[in-house]
Amino acid sequence: MHFASCFKNIKRLAAIGALSLALVPQLGQAQDKQKIKVGISVGSAEAIFDVVKKVAARDGLEIQTVVFSDYLQPNAALAAGDLDANAFQHRPYLESQIAARGYRIVPVGLTITAPLGIYSRKFRSVEQLPQGAAIGIQNDPSNGNRALLLLQKAGLIRLKPGVGENGVNATPLDVIENPRKLKLVELDAAQLPRSLDDLAAASINNDYAFKAGLSLQKDTIAVEDPRGRYANIIATRAEDKDRPWVRKLVQAYHSEEVRKFIETEFKGSLVPAF
């Protein structure tokens, strides 16, 4: 009887131990982060996140922003665990980075649409562009594709059927009609504002244009539709997408306070996408 009783007690203790081990991951998940690092791009995102930080703080979430001056580092830093989230890119750019680098990064919420513009300091309309004009475009696949689509929309070029949309990025080699014999100059996105004086015009991302003091309303000769597939996103690692802190981050960005700030501060050059 004594042996049987001891055996039952051993089994009971083993079961309790197994249950405790099974609960460890759940307890770890319950202890949600109270402070996170979010990677953003230089420029307008800094001003917007000053408001996002205040809203999130009221919900118990402290946000530290890490500012990047290029488009390659924020995803690499997120994938490496140096950031908890980033908010600088649109979905097509993320998709191109995942295809190229195998990142396990997913979108978790929309932020703003930053309409791409063709900027010029020398000409006031597409019609004024001369034969052989040099047009700067981004050299990364996603934004270069976006620039070519905008040039096509403006009637300056025509692309091969089936490229430029549906995930098939166009390159200058896909231009089949170029009646003005425009010279498409591929440059790093950050260099385009600095190169504008040497070009007839250039496709410039909104954040870099904002930092360079360029106006979407006054300095462009062609502009993207303000709403579309190029809305920017908040992204996290795939394993974090359902964490409570992610919900708090997205809710803070989607607050009415942030919406009103974007609409008032940027007057249409940035559009809330949520």
Residue 6 reports pLDDT greater than 50: no
* Cα R_g (the chain), whole angstroms: 24
How far separated are the first and last CA of the chain, in Å rounded?
Answer: 69
- Closest to 79 (Cα-Cα) out of 45, 130, 39: 39
Residue 17 reports pLDDT greater than 60: no
Residue 261 reports pLDDT greater than 50: yes
Q: Residue 26 — pLDDT band, cuts 50, 70, 90?
A: very low
pLDDT of residue 168: 83
Q: Report the topology of domain 117-223.
A: D-Maltodextrin-Binding Protein; domain 2 (3.40.190)
Burial classification of residue 250, based on how many CB atoms lie within 10 Å of its CB (0-12 exposed, 13-18 middle, 19 or more buried) = buried
- Residues ≥6 apart with Cβ < 8 Å to 185: 134, 135, 136, 137, 195, 199
Q: Residue 109 — pLDDT band, cuts 50, 70, 90?
A: very high
CATH of the structural domain 33-115+229-272, one choice from 3.30.10.20, 3.40.190.10, 2.60.40.1730, 3.10.20.30: 3.40.190.10
CATH 3.40.190.10 segments of the chain: 33-115+229-272, 117-223
Cα gap 214→3, rounded to integer Å:
85
pLDDT of residue 86: 98
Average pLDDT over residues 238-251: 98
**pLDDT tens profile 54-99:** 999 999 999 999 999 999 999 999 999 999 999 999 998 999 899 9
User: Residue 143 corresponds to which tokens in the numbers above?
Assistant: 């934004």
